[in-house]
Amino acid sequence: MPHAPVGSGEQAADPYLGMAIEAAETARGRTSPNPWVGAVVVAVDGRVFTGATEPPGERHAEIVALDAAEAASAITTTTTMITGVDAAGAVTADAAEAGGASEPAGEPATRPTVSAAEGSTLYVTLEPCSHTGRTPPCTERIIAAGVRRVVVALADPDPHVAGSGIRRLKEAGIAVELEKPTGAPARAVASGLAPYLKHRTTGLPWVVLKLAATLDGRIAAPDGSSRWITGEEARLDAHRLRALSDAVIVGAGTVRADDPELTVRTDPSPSRQPLRVVLGRVPESARVAPALEMQGDLREVIEELGRRGCLQVLVEGGARVAHDFHAAGLIDRYVVYLAPALFGGSDAKPMFDGPGVGSIGSVWRGRLVSVGRLGDDVKVELAPEGESAGHPDGSSQGGPLGVRSEDAV
């Protein structure tokens, strides 16, 4: 999914912006409600320093990169003493250095050190912030560091920023280049940041529906058994998708039937676990407890999760919940894992439990974002027609993902 929520299959034309985009993806899943941003500082001597957003309250990507530049050995200026004899036979001494002044003959050449950030170019995937939140404004640190030029892949739609970061840098005399929205770098960043961009422009999280089924579209046998429809690689990828999500939603029926934990179990362990949301009441002995119990209109559920700072929400089941989210038009990405298996009958449980459309003319059609193989299984990623490409697992290749929600525990 975009980024799904999101990564990108685009390659930035500028290699340094490409490096910044790659750095940003390393921060996915640990910055919410902040965006995952990458930054690259290129010093005047060609040295390169990268940074990615740290967890909330810690350093933004620009600061990480600038700290690395300023901590590195400073740019040195050298003075070479040249001695000779003039026409009158007197000994002379000249200083030869780039931009340096002559030193007295016979004295050691000393020059003040210069930070590697001084005069550098900063490449950043998203417009630097200019307001004080949990951290000071990035713009002021960029100015103080002596950065000469800033290249921005994408403007930040957050109302606290919305162009003010670029204006502040320009006011300070820094050359600022904003990539064209239709260019490869901007499209790549927009794809990777799709959950953040949706949240900042609508207040709603990016909603991903995860399904796993046999080739005949069934998620469980008539007796309810389903472990495992898909293989180990797909299930591991499902945990990675969970790790990139801020909340996981299941219905109370799934909790009663399967007693899932809905935690992320990867190696290494994630820095945080997603919020576990159950639509209905949670039995006291359920392994998912403690969980947020929610009921009512699904759009109101999503709105509340957006207010809580969730950028990406993963809907994992069961079939009734999947149907209701789909019917309400709330899904931004569909991630479907198909196993090379058949139940071979109509009595096995379908992916969606509820009434569908009445005729072929009303059938829902989406756009294929990616198709990839995970062991013996196939992962298919769909977007609603008219939506821009994006990837919930942070890549355009379809990554490795897994089984139906209640199974991937």
Task: Name the more confident of 54 and 399.
Answer: 54
Question: pLDDT band at 58, cuts 50/70/90?
Answer: very high
Question: pLDDT band at 369, cuts 50/70/90?
Answer: very high
For the four alpha carbons of 53, 59, 60 and 62, in that order, the dihedral sign comes to negative
Q: Give the pLDDT score at 211.
A: 94
Q: Give the pLDDT score at 74.
A: 58
Q: What is the pLDDT of residues 194-223, one digit of tens each?
A: 999 999 999 999 999 999 999 999 998 888
Comparing 67-76, 166-175, 305-314, which segment has the lowest mean pLDDT? 67-76
Average pLDDT, the chain: 83
Say yes or no to pLDDT of 33 above 60. Answer: yes
Comparing 136-140, 147-151, 223-227, 362-366, which segment has the lowest mean pLDDT? 223-227
Closest CA to 41 of 58, 73, 17: 17
Say yes or no to pLDDT of 150 above 80. Answer: yes
Domains assigned to the chain: 15-74+115-193 (3.40.140.10), 203-407 (3.40.430.10)
Q: Give the pLDDT score at 43.
A: 94
Say yes or no to pLDDT of 405 above 80. Answer: no
Q: Give the pLDDT score at 325.
A: 96
SS3 321: helix
Task: Name the more confident of 388 and 204.
Answer: 204
CA distance 319 to 407: 13
Residue type present at position 73? S
Say yes or no to pLDDT of 402 above 60. Answer: no
Q: Give the pLDDT score at 13.
A: 52
377: left (phi over 0), alpha (psi -120 to 50) or beta: beta
Say yes or no to pLDDT of 88 above 70. Answer: no
For the four alpha carbons of 42, 15, 190 and 379, in that order, the dihedral sign comes to negative
Q: What is the pLDDT of residues 214-267, one digit of tens each?
A: 999 999 888 888 888 999 999 999 989 999 999 999 999 888 888 788 888 876
In contact, 247 and 277? CB cutoff 8 Å: yes
Spatial strand order of the sheet with 312-317 comes to 292-294, 275-279, 247-251, 312-317, 206-214, 333-339, 377-384, 366-374
Say yes or no to pLDDT of 66 above 50. Answer: yes
Q: Give the pLDDT score at 395.
A: 42
Residues with Cβ within 8 Å of residue 103, at least 6 apart in sequence: 79, 81, 93, 95, 109, 110
Closest CA to 293 of 244, 345, 255: 255
Q: What is the pLDDT of residues 100-131, one digit of tens each?
A: 344 444 454 444 556 888 999 999 999 999 98
Task: Name the more confident of 61 and 270.
Answer: 61
Please state the rounded mean pLDDT for residues 296-300: 95
Q: Give the pLDDT score at 320.
A: 94
Q: Which residue has the tokens 């990458």?
A: 38
Q: Give the pLDDT score at 113.
A: 57
Q: What is the pLDDT of residues 303-362, one digit of tens each?
A: 999 999 999 999 998 899 999 999 999 999 999 999 999 999 999 999 999 999 899 999
The residues annotated as belonging to the active site are: 62
Say yes or no to pLDDT of 11 above 70. Answer: no
Q: Quote the distance between the C-alpha of residue 175 and its chain's center.
A: 27
Q: Give the pLDDT score at 73.
A: 64
119: left (phi over 0), alpha (psi -120 to 50) or beta: left
Q: What percent of the chain has pLDDT over 70?
A: 81
Question: pLDDT band at 98, cuts 50/70/90?
Answer: very low
Say yes or no to pLDDT of 87 above 70. Answer: no
